[in-house]
Amino acid sequence: MSPAPTDGRPNERPRSRPAASQRAVALDAALSIAGVFACEVAAGLTVVITRRPAPGIALTAAALVLGLGWLRRHRRRADAIAANEVALGERLLAAGSLTAAWNAGCAAAWTAARRPVANAGLAVMARVALEEKRLDVAREILGRIRPRRSVDPCLEAVLERAAGRHDRAREALERARGRPTFGGAAARLLVELHAEANDLDRAVGVAVAHLDLLEPHDVENMIASLRAWGEPQHAARLGVALSLNGQPA
């Protein structure tokens, strides 16, 4: 499953695919095609020579089994290669090697057979583009992720925030609440964005609703900040919720 071609875009880096893995996949494909072709030829000759369809049908079925077996192997191998590229890209991104991380993410998106693995590769590319402040590129890459509900809401919100669209950043995270992609990082960012907008009531509401996603020390720091800001009621509300959740306020 490959992303849309990017030829002619100077800000796109060249794609890369592991050469050794390509050779292994090509060899497997060649052997499987040869086996399918041999079975089909044998089936045809058997029907012509013996004038009995049963052996030909059996050989045709064998060709079908070979073809389907290769397809399953190819998809598993492609996804394994792509998953390794995603993991590599994430490590390279954390180490600050942006060009290499981009190439790894692009290789994953190009190689993957299943959409979730391809999406993970696209996410690595989008994170690199965000690090480099190439917001239009990041937005275009996120637009390739399908289905749309699979987009990491944090990535979408960080993109909108970097573009100065804080309201859209909050909306992106609010829409994602309740989805599997809405995790602790998304909850923390949404609390932060509401606090930046001076909407402490909503910030506390998000924190209370998603205490299970937030680290206790983050909630305790928020309580301390609310008290320092002269917001004892909000601090008390969050403290009660934290205590009911089994954590000391």
pLDDT band (50, 70, 90) for residue 1: very low
DSSP 92: H
pLDDT at 75: 81
The residues spanned by each domain of the chain are 15-145
pLDDT digits (tens, 9 = 90+) for 170-180: 999 999 998 99
More confident residue, 52 or 180: 180
Q: H or E stretch including 170?
A: helix 166-176
Reported pTM: 0.74
The two three-digit tokens of residue 29, written as one number: 């494909």
And the tokens for 229? Answer: 């800001």
pLDDT above 90 covers a percentage of the chain that reads 62
Between these two residues, 77 and 65, which has the higher pLDDT value? 77
**pLDDT 10s digits, 142-163:** 999 999 899 999 999 999 999 9
Cα dihedral across residues 202, 205, 211, 212: positive or negative = negative
Residue 70's pLDDT band (cuts 50, 70, 90): low
Q: Furthest-apart CA pair in the chain: how many Å?
A: 95
Decide if pLDDT at 12 tops 60.
no
What is the distance between the alpha carbons of residues 96 and 111, in angstroms, rounded to a whole number? 24
Return the higher-pLDDT residue of 44 and 39: 44
Residue 245 and residue 65: Cα distance in Å, rounded?
Answer: 55
Q: Tell me the three-class secondary structure of 148-189, residue by residue.
A: HHHCCHHHHHHHHHHCCCHHHHHHHHHHHCCCCCCCHHHHHH
Here the tokens at position 195 are 């606090």
